[in-house]
Amino acid sequence: QYRVFARVSPEHKVKIVKEGKEGQGVGFREDGTMIVVENGGNDIGNLVDVTITTSIQTNTGLIIFGRIM
């Protein structure tokens, strides 16, 4: 039995809305899922193409990690 938390394709367009830790950028999907983008801190306010690298399920929700293509 499987539980689907979110549908994720390997590529996403993400608007970076704030800086994360260590130069990361942070954006959100329409459903509120956080996407943490490696080296995205300089792209705040920009829409970037992101390749998804991994995701984790936490007590507060799904977090998706990726890098700019």
**Sign of the C-alpha dihedral, residues 55, 44, 14, 5?**
positive
Give the whole-number percent of the chain exceeding pLDDT 90: 65
Between 10 and 59, the more confident residue is 59
22-42 pLDDT, tens digit each: 999 999 998 899 999 999 999
- Give the residue with greater pLDDT, 5 vs 38: 38
d(CA 51, CA 42): 17
**Within 10 Å of residue 3's Cβ, how many Cβ atoms?**
5
User: How far apart, in whole angstroms, are the C-alpha atoms of residue 42 and residue 12?
Assistant: 18
